[in-house]
Chains A and B, each alone.
Chain A
Amino acid sequence: MSQKQKQVFALSGASCASCVRKIESALESVPGVEDAKVNLAEKTLSVVGDVDQTRCIQAVEEVGYGAKPARKDPREQREQQKAEDKRHYRQLLWRCGVALGLGIPLMAWGLITGEMTVTTPTEQLAWGAVGLLTLAVMVFCGGHFYTGGWKAFRHHNANMDTLIALGTAAAWLYSMMVVLAPGLLPEAARHVYFEASAMIIGLINLGQALEVRARGKTSAAVEKLLELQDTSARVLRDGEEVDIPLEDVQPGDRMRVRPGEKVPVDGVVRVGSSLVDESMLTGEPVPVKKVEGDAVSAGTLNKNGTLIFEAQKVGAETRLSQIIEMVRNAQNSRVPIARLADQISAIFVPTVMIIAVLAALVWFNIGPDPRAAHMLVVLTSVLIIACPCALGLATPMSVMVGVGKGAEHGVLIRNGKALQQASDLDTLVVDKTGTLTEGAPKLTDIETDLDEDTLLALLASLEAGSEHPLAEAIVQAAKERDLQLSEVEDFEAITAHGVRGNIGGKQVLLGNRKLLEREGIPEGDWPLQAKALAEQGRTAMYAAVDGKAAGVIAVADPIRDDAKAAVARLQKAGLTVQMLTGDNRATAEAVARQLNIDEVHADLQPEDKEKLVSQLQDKGKKVGMAGDGINDAPALARADVGFAIGAGTDVAIETADVTLMRSSLHGVADAIELSRATLRNIKQNLFGAFIYNTLGIPIAAGVLYPVTGALLSPVIAGAAMAFSSVTVVSNANRLRFFRPTQVAGEKN
């Protein structure tokens, strides 16, 4: 498959249409160019085809202009976007000011003098002038509504612009008719509504301005992540430090990071050691010690030492970039709960138009006089009060903020569906190893007649060559005590029993009780000790030296510091926590007891985990599964929501519903709390938007008239519509203050 290459250049000196032709034809003579296009507005040149970059630049320079490769800097683009938003905001405020500048005095005039009717020729002339002024305001301040409405109409589409355009145009046309031919209407109906058109346009511009402001905040979390990315990096080239743009960094480059600087790309430490603050990516508050061979991630902050590391992943490949990409995608994904709102908003505007016509007809047929004026007011108010954008914005705004908030806490939510399902889980299945426990066994007890260190040194020497995880724990413990290890002779592994070997002339055995029986060694009191240890969830082994039982040692996978608090949080949130493990029942139950876990499934084969999840689902449970993403992948996929824990790995980011950057069960609790908060927010928004429209439209249509004796003024309808969508966005922004709960006793 041949991938077409496209290169973009920034042009200088090009300013007119003839430059475009010159540059384009110059490029066409460069070999390999399939297509060359100049964009005058952006001053860019894009070239498609397998071409040499410098030859393109040369070709442009030959015809008298300048070109250089365009840098695709996301930061620059963001700055531009922000400037654009600001400009747009000011423009909206301007339009609002001008429109209200006409609308408010007109309205005040109407309220104070009560004279908005046209009877005499002088009034005709005066109101005619006002009408033209209003038209100017409508075109200048609300022109975009009319062009938008018209364009959408031509595409058989209707949107908010359509409603605004129709509503304000109806009010203006009616008023103009009153001015030009008052005779056509009964005296009571000769009322002008120019102030309504001007006010509505002004208010809606104001609402949109506020919305632009509020919206800027919804992407604050992603902004923060983007800001973690530096624009340049310090690379070591031929022993010298060179500052180069970030996008020029290649894998394999060696780079230096000083204290207080950010890590520019993903890589591996080669020289030095330092504490690195990874909280921005993982939510883990404690800085992590990095030494030679450790991986560092782009965007993390180097605290106290200088590191030299080798770049491994750059650009879009870095963990930071992938997080940003995932968050951005999730922020706009579909939430099942919004399906109804989506369906409604698809037919919303034409339906509102029909309702408006029907309401007007009802007023015409059975309404009191002046019928024509009532028809107009009802028509305009219904069109203007209906706000499809509040409905459309309800979900996406909350999801934007909620998903972004998750990223701040090291919780990456794959999509809206995962978010919704996480909010109504009732059962959480947790893989023990690595989630509830550290995942690396440690020596916990040595009980012996001999000197502890002597025995440990012998056993560590014996196990030094073995790769068994329990053996590793023993060797590690000996290393921590600075014990000297010796050579092993005649090492032998006895399947299902243990190991033996000669060390410094002593015959050492380490294994289970069966090993002692097999060797005919008297057990003494040790089985009692071993039993007591096993009850605490530890794995006990017997040691024998020169044919005599020497003691028992125990190894256990220590429970994580924060596991108990996290389990308590989950239970408080109403979830049943179940533990899955391949360990034996005694060990598993000991752990479960300490953590206060509700149910234990022990002695499991890897494939049993998935089965167990589906059995729970068959019982009607909403099951979340927390595991490490690699070994537990099938169970994670089967669960309603899979939480991949401690996921530096790309695999997990790719597959899990929720990826937790921090290796802690607290992340699951955070994710569940956040999803519940977000769903609550979405429901508030949807409810608000539904209620607003289902109450607003009938009121605008005049159902309250028999009670109040008055119709809703189109100006109030305009104000209500303008602020309904601002309300939705502001409510979504409240989610920014979400904080996970803290449980007493949790370490921080």
Chain B
Amino acid sequence: MSLLVNILGLLLIAAIVWWFWLAGRKNGGEHYSDTLEILVKDGVYDPDRIEVPAGEEITLHFRREDPSPCAEYVVFSDLDISKQLAVHKVTELNLPALQKGEYPFTCQMKMYRGLLVSR
């Protein structure tokens, strides 16, 4: 019995490590298009991984459906760009041409997390 509980516990830890840190990092994410809307709701950006073309100015459309204050701003801290998002509305955010690379975007308190992959 006690061995079983210990093994279950360790398996649980392994599962946490795998699910949150190892799995789900590989896929390239949604392809960018003019009409792509990023839904801001319930603690996640959906899609949270977006592939955007490098060297092009683009406009992202955020639809915020979450009134909690965490969702209020979207911050691209590497680019020093941020935008206040209006609730129940689409807010446009213009980005300059990006070099190839990864640009995380988050809410102010880093609860919402997303990634722009520029290639």
Listed in ascending order, the chain A residues whose CB lies under 8 Å from chain B are: 4, 35, 39, 41-42, 48, 77, 80-81, 84-85, 87-88, 91, 144, 147-149, 151-153, 155-161, 208, 211-212, 215, 328-334, 342, 345-347, 349-350, 353-354, 357-358, 360-361, 364-365, 388-389, 391-393, 396-397, 415
Contacts and interface: CB of A to CB of B under 8 A. Distances in A.
Nearest to A80: B86
Contacts of A365: 2, 6
B43 A333 contact: no
Contact of A147 (B21, B35, B42, B108): B42
A553 to B, nearest CB: 52
Interface centre among B10, B16, B90 (most CB of A within 10 A): B16
5 closest pairs, A vs B, by CB? A392-B109, A332-B82, A156-B24, A148-B43, A88-B67
Nearest to A334: B77
B59 to A, nearest CB: 9
Nearest to A154: B44
Contacts of A346: 110, 113
Contacts of A85: 67, 69
B113 A157 contact: yes
Contacts of A159: 43, 111-112
B16 A151 contact: no
A354 B17 contact: yes
Given A152-B44, A156-B19, A392-B110, A328 B6 contact: no
Interface string B58-75: 000000000111101101
Contacts of A81: 84, 86-87
Contact of A329 (B5, B10, B80): B80
B5 A155 contact: no
Nearest to B41: A151
Interface string B76-117: 011011101011111000000000000000001111110000
Interface SS of chain B: helix, strand, loop or mixed?
A: mixed
A295 B5 CA distance: 77
Contact of B82 (A35, A333, A347): A333
Given A42-B89, A84-B87, A332 B108 contact: yes
Contacts of A147: 42
Contacts of B23: 156
Contacts of A144: 42, 68
A331 B80 CA distance: 9
B109 A389 contact: yes
Given A364-B6, A392-B108, A393-B108, A87 B17 contact: no
20 contacts: A148-B43, A149-B43, A151-B44, A156-B19, A157-B48, A161-B43, A212-B69, A215-B72, A333-B77, A334-B80, A342-B77, A349-B20, A354-B16, A357-B12, A360-B9, A361-B9, A388-B109, A389-B111, A392-B108, A392-B111
A328 B84 contact: yes
A350 B17 contact: yes
Nearest to A395: B108
B119 to A, nearest CB: 21
A462 B11 CA distance: 96
A144 B108 CA distance: 19
Nearest to B104: A346
Contacts of A392: 108-111
A347 B21 contact: yes
Interface centre among A159, A161, A393 (most CB of B within 10 A): A159
Given A42-B88, A215-B72, 13 more contacts: A81-B84, A91-B67, A144-B42, A155-B24, A159-B111, A160-B43, A208-B69, A334-B77, A345-B109, A357-B16, A358-B13, A392-B109, A392-B110
Contacts of B25: 156
A155 B44 contact: yes
Nearest to A146: B42
B82 A331 contact: yes
Contacts of A88: 67-68
B93 to A, nearest CB: 12
Interface string B39-52: 00111101010000
Contacts of A41: 88
A91 B110 CA distance: 24
Contact of B109 (A87, A330, A360, A396): A396
B16 A396 contact: no
A212 B67 CA distance: 10
Nearest to A215: B69
A357 B9 contact: yes
